[in-house]
Amino acid sequence: MSTSNRQTISYLNRRFRQVGLEPNKRHGQNFLIDLNLVRMIADTGDIQPCDAILEIGTGTGSLTAMMAEKAGFIVTVEIDEHLHQLAKEELEPFRNVWMLRQDALKNKNNLSPTVLAPIREWVQGAPGRGFKLVANLPYNVATPIISNLLMLEDPPTLISVTIQKELGERMMAVPSTKDYSALSVWVQALCDVSIVRVLPPTVFWPAPKVDSAIMRIQPIPEKRAAIANLAFFHTFTRSLFFHRRKFLRSVIISAFKEKLNKPQVDAVLAELPFYHSNSRAEELSVAQIQELSERFRLAVKQ
């Protein structure tokens, strides 16, 4: 069957009836039934023959098949045993697709090594190769998947994903807004991020209760190089937003209570031109949080 027939609602209904399946809410299964939008996800990924593609959530294999015609190599991961088998039948003709039936996450803070290993092996097999994440991400794993990929020493060169619109807006949020969070700072400190297209619930089956968005997240090597210690910055940023409404000084004193005393914290803060006694983390720009993080990293090292 051609790719263009694979993701219509009539096709999905028929295939699911054939194998006695229903979409699994626990696994965040919402299938995109507009093939033009499936193609938009692939097109946003700008897939080239030198690219390895990581796809989380194979589904029925519609997006996978579309990408396999352009990519050098694809690792596609599906946690659902029945969907994995269904997609396996559809993707059988493609020799450049590596299918895994498992959870893409080892735990909340780490991707599964068995997901990353074939990607790295392929990328290291020839010069000029890289990898991208291109996927209709299951809603329940979108944040840890993206956050953990950005933590890697060899992160993807591009991320093109469908996620909840609300999550996309959090990634793009600016200071002093309700959506501004540790995730906003983390993503913007490392990437350029934009919403390509907002998707209403009606383009999915079953229809979710929220809008979705196709996101283009472009990691920028120069941004990454400006952060001296990525792990420290990640942990520090998260600690700032644990109590976003508290004054910055008290949050930092709590975060570093085992490493710095109050006079030491005050000494660092006094050196920062943007700090005042009523400062809160949610008011600081990404650049200011980066400077704050680096000052405290150096203070802890002393």
- pLDDT over 80 (residue 12): no
pLDDT band at 266 (very low <50, low <70, confident <90, very high): very high
Question: Hey, what are 185's tokens?
Answer: 């700072």
Residues 6+ apart with CB under 8 A from 127: none
Beta pairing partners, 216 = 160, 194
Which token pair is 225?
Answer: 């190089």
CATH topology for 3-225 is Rossmann fold (3.40.50)
Write the DSSP string, 103-125. Answer: -SEEETTEE-HHHHHHHHHHHTT
Task: Look at phi and psi of residue 176 and say left if phi exceeds 0, alpha if psi is from -120 to 50, else beta.
Answer: left
Q: Categorise residue 241: left if φ over 0, alpha if ψ from -120 to 50, beta otherwise.
A: alpha
Q: What is the predicted pLDDT for the residue at 205?
A: 85
- Taking CA 281 as the corner, what is the angle to CA 248 and CA 247, rounded to the nearest 5 degrees? 30
d(CA 200, CA 177): 24
The pLDDT, as a whole number, for residue 24 is: 58
Indicate where the chain has its CATH 1.10.8.100 domain(s).
230-301
Average the pLDDT over 252-271 and give the result: 96
pLDDT of residue 6: 54
> Tell me, which fold does domain 230-301 have in CATH?
Helicase, Ruva Protein; domain 3 (1.10.8)
Q: Would you say residue 228 has pLDDT above 50?
A: yes
Residue linked to tokens 């990898």: 131
Delimit the CATH 3.40.50.150 region(s) of the chain.
Answer: 3-225
If you average pLDDT over residues 198-203, what whole number do you get? 96
Q: What single letter denotes the amino acid at residue 113?
A: P
Task: Determine the average pLDDT of the residues in 93-118.
Answer: 97
6-10 average pLDDT score: 61
- Longest CA span, the chain: 70
Q: What per-residue string of b and e applies to 168-178 under the rule 16 or more CB within 10 Å gives b?
A: bbbbbbebeee
Q: 271: Cβ–Cβ under 8 A, 6 or more apart, which residues? A: 295
Q: Above 50 in pLDDT, residue 4?
A: no
pTM score above 0.85: yes
The arithmetic mean of pLDDT across residues 208-230, rounded, is 97
